[in-house]
């Protein structure tokens, strides 16, 4: 990659890492589903041109992905963050989408994995369990479970997205925003109260959190990543995504005053190590698949 693109992908990781802080600020004043709805309402305004691309013949698949991502995955993110005392453990748990995606590929696409990735998957989950039993984190262990469910939802949706090669990625993202608006609207009306009062009384940090998530994380983040994936192969770009949790954890320490205990550090290290190994093996497999005649 060119230096300017390396710096750009690092910036995207910083945006996604800092987004956990933005989400925390948002749910301090707004309920989770309301926050998710507001985020995607803002993002959809800028993604509206992309929704004009025809999805004829793929409507059920696109809507399934949109609901899983826009409502379930991001809904879990906002719920987990609202339940958690900090965001570091939640950000690390979100990385379980990588081992989950590998497991989903085995179940849904009949792919095979070797012993190395099996061990790495186990280490990833063990890391989250270790973090969960830290005295500080144990008080919101249910938040880790919710984020783990969100990671699983993301992984399943990513498998479905791999089967939609005829639809531009930004068109799918526009539909994700669309589903996020109306799906979250239904859920906030069913399960949450005082939406209008919350919106009117929302503080500046909460609104800046919505703006950051809607514009920077969703529009710039996903738009920028799609730009890079058009210029470079997936196996070149994906390893840089491992930087995201480091930005999330460091921002949590600086901005939220979160304290990392030894057990949290050990658990996070296990999960990150497992994700690194899985990512390396997956990208190595993709690279081999690009070489004619070489076994994968």
Pure H helices in 84-221: 88-94, 97-109, 115-132, 135-138, 141-162, 169-191, 195-201, 204-211
In contact, 275 and 100? CB cutoff 8 Å: no
Query: 233-280, pLDDT tens digit by residue?
Result: 767 787 888 899 999 999 999 999 999 999 999 999 999 999 999 988
HSE toward the beta carbon, residue 277, CA cutoff 13 A:
18
Query: 119-158, pLDDT tens digit by residue?
Result: 999 999 999 999 998 988 989 999 999 999 999 999 999 8
Residues 43, 207: Cα–Cα separation, whole Å = 14
Q: Which sign, positive or negative, has the C-alpha torsion 126, 127, 128, 132?
A: positive
Residues 41, 181: Cα–Cα separation, whole Å = 6
With a cut of 70, say whether residue 295 has pLDDT above it. Answer: no
pTM across the whole model: 0.92
Give residue 200's pLDDT band: very low, low, confident or very high (50, 70, 90).
very high
In contact, 164 and 58? CB cutoff 8 Å: yes
Number of neighbours of residue 169 by Cβ within 10 angstroms:
17
Given this model, what pLDDT does residue 57 score? 87
Query: 7-42, pLDDT tens digit by residue?
Result: 999 999 999 999 999 999 999 999 999 999 999 999
More confident residue, 100 or 164: 100
């Amino acid at each position: 990659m060119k230096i300017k693109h390396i710096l750009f992908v690092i910036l995207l990781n910083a945006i996604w890492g800092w987004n956990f802080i933005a989400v925390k600020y948002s749910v301090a004043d707004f309920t989770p589903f309301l926050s998710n709805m507001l985020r995607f309402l803002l993002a959809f305004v800028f993604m509206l041109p992309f929704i004009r691309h025809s999805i004829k013949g793929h409507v059920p698949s696109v809507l399934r992905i949109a609901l899983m991502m826009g409502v379930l995955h991001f809904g879990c993110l906002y719920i987990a963050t609202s339940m958690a005392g900090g965001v570091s453990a939640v950000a690390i748990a979100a990385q379980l989408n990588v081992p989950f995606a590998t497991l989903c590929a085995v179940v849904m696409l009949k792919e095979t994995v070797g012993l190395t990735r099996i061990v790495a998957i186990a280490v990833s989950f063990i890391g989250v369990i270790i973090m969960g039993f830290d005295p500080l984190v144990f008080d919101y262990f249910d938040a880790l479970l919710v984020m783990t469910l969100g990671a699983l939802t993301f992984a399943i949706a990513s498998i479905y997205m791999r089967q939609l090669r005829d639809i531009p990625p930004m068109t799918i993202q526009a539909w994700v925003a669309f589903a996020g608006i109306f799906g979250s609207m239904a859920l906030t009306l069913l399960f949450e109260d005082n939406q209008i009062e919350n919106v009117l009384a929302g503080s500046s940090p909460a609104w800046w959190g919505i703006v950051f998530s809607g514009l920077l994380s969703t529009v710039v983040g996903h738009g920028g990543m799609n730009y890079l994936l058009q210029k470079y192969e997936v196996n070149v770009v994906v390893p840089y995504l491992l930087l995201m949790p480091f930005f999330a954890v460091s921002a949590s320490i600086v901005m939220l005053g979160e304290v990392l205990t030894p057990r949290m550090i050990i658990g996070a290290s296990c999960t990150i190590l497992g994700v690194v190994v899985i990512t390396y093996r997956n990208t190595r497999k993709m690279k081999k698949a690009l070489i004619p005649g070489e076994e994968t």
